[in-house]
């Protein structure tokens, strides 16, 4: 309260005082860090091509509802880097006084700049990339820095050594990995442990229709004491009601098409989505809410990392936390639908 009062003269944004009332926070693996059950990602809708006011509105809505975790990467945009720049502008104007209430993450591992040093997992790339990210975001440090994907060509000791170095430099508080298999995760966590910088978190794709993490990764993370944050929980919008009556002009599949193509949303997929939507309705939830709640039923999931193209969508998704209970019968109905 006193913090809010003190900063109210300096900034335009005064967050909702009740922001911590409804959101629940979960321990990330065996660490001291709590993450909100729902986090917001800036992969889409925050580039220079997107509407700045809309982007600002989404982040304010998130924070107003207790979403303390904003997830970025060096190459989010388009163009690459622009989501971090947009975030930097919003942060400077609206969120700076709340830095200690936020968990901000970024990543490097995919193609970012030309030449041999702007991709994969070398020490050269990771350290330079984080320096660039901090500059774009106007931050002194990020809370979590990830290696964005495994790189079999670079010795894992070098990549993990770079993460450890970054923490010792004070440029990240924690480190994580993304898209690593269970086997790669075991190796990476072992190296990080030996260096004295435990792996905080793993960021895999996980949603009702994409279940690879259930074949060993989630068990591994639990055994290693590492948290899990599920990305694309709505399968980029497929696990919502938005494609049930055709392809909306403003949808990701139509508007963007880089990562979600209209032909991926075929009759077979929509048949399942329709049935899942009926189950969600019987629970008085939107399908988006049910898809998020379905992930949160597993306590090993530290947070569900959603995207949103409007604050209205985010407000809908946030309500998922109000009903995370599933009867055995409902769970088996869902499995039947997914297997058909």
Question: Contact positions toward ligand NDP, by CB under 6 A?
Answer: 41-44, 71, 148, 178-179, 203, 231-237, 240, 242, 251-252, 288, 305-309, 313, 316-317
End-to-end CA, the chain: 53
Neighbour tally for 311: CB within 10 Å: 18
Dig out the tokens for 213 from the structure: 């993490």
Distance CA 45, CA 256 (A): 10
Q: Which is nearer to ligand NDP, 254 or 337 (CB)?
A: 254
Using DSSP, state whether 284 is helix, strand or coil. Answer: coil
Q: What angle do CA 72, 231, 95 make, to 5 degrees?
A: 35
Q: How far is the CB of 192 from ligand NDP (least distance, A)?
A: 18
Q: Which is nearer to ligand NDP, 168 or 297 (CB)?
A: 297
* Per-residue buried b or exposed e for 3-22, using 16+ beta carbons within 10 Å of the residue's own CB: eeeeeeeeeebebeeebeee
Q: How far is the CB of 280 from ligand NDP (least distance, A)?
A: 11
Q: How far is the CB of 302 from ligand NDP (least distance, A)?
A: 14
Q: Which is nearer to ligand NDP, 14 or 54 (CB)?
A: 54
Distance CA 232, CA 136 (A): 25
**What is the length of the chain?**
340
Distance CA 108, CA 149 (A): 8
Q: Which is nearer to ligand NDP, 227 or 237 (CB)?
A: 237
Q: Which is nearer to ligand NDP, 71 or 224 (CB)?
A: 71
Q: Which is nearer to ligand NDP, 163 or 305 (CB)?
A: 305
Q: How far is the CB of 306 from ligand NDP (least distance, A)?
A: 4
Cα-Cα-Cα-Cα dihedral sign, residues 295, 36, 74, 81: positive
Q: Residue 326: which of 274, 285, 273, 270 has the closest Cα?
A: 285
Neighbour tally for 244: CB within 10 Å: 11
Q: Residue 159: which of 146, 143, 140, 144 has the closest Cα?
A: 146
Dig out the tokens for 336 from the structure: 């039947």
Q: How far is the CB of 72 from ligand NDP (least distance, A)?
A: 7
Dig out the tokens for 199 from the structure: 């792996």
Q: Which is nearer to ligand NDP, 7 or 289 (CB)?
A: 289
Dig out the tokens for 218 from the structure: 């989630």
Q: How far is the CB of 15 from ligand NDP (least distance, A)?
A: 21
Q: Which is nearer to ligand NDP, 11 or 270 (CB)?
A: 270
Q: How far is the CB of 295 from ligand NDP (least distance, A)?
A: 11
Q: How far is the CB of 284 from ligand NDP (least distance, A)?
A: 15
């Amino acid at each position: 309260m006193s913090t809010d009062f003190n900063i109210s003269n300096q900034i335009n944004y005064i967050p909702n005082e009740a922001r911590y009332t409804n959101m629940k926070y979960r321990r990330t693996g065996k660490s001291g860090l709590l993450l909100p059950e729902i986090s917001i990602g800036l992969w889409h809708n925050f580039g220079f091509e997107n509407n700045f006011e809309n982007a600002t509105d989404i982040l304010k809505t998130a924070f107003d509802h207790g979403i303390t975790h904003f997830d970025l990467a060096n190459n989010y945009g388009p163009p690459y880097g622009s989501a971090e720049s947009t975030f930097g502008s919003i942060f400077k104007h609206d969120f700076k006084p709340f830095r200690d209430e936020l968990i901000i993450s970024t990543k490097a591992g995919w193609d970012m700049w030309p030449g041999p040093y702007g991709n994969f997992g070398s020490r050269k790339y990771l350290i330079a990339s984080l320096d660039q990210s901090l500059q774009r975001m106007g931050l002194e440090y990020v809370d979590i820095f990830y290696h964005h994907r495994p790189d079999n060509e670079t010795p894992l000791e070098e990549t993990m050594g770079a993460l450890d170095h970054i923490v010792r430099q004070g440029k990240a508080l924690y480190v994580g990995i993304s898209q690593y298999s269970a086997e790669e995760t075991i190796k990476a966590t072992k190296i990080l442990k030996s260096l004295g910088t435990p792996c905080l978190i793993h960021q895999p794709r996980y949603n009702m229709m994409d279940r690879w993490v259930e074949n060993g990764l989630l068990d591994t993370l639990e055994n290693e004491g590492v948290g899990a944050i599920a990305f694309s929980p709505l399968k980029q919008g497929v696990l919502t009601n938005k494609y049930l009556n055709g392809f909306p002009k403003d949808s990701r599949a139509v508007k963007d098409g880089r990562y979600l193509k209209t032909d991926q949303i075929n009759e077979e997929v929509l048949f399942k989505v329709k049935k899942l939507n009926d189950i969600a309705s019987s629970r008085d939830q939107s399908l988006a809410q049910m898809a998020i709640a379905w992930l949160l039923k597993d306590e090993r999931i530290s947070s569900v990392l959603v995207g949103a193209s409007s604050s209205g969508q985010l407000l809908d998704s946030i309500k998922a936390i109000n009903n995370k209970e599933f009867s055995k019968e409902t769970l088996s109905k869902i499995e039947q639908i997914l297997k058909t």
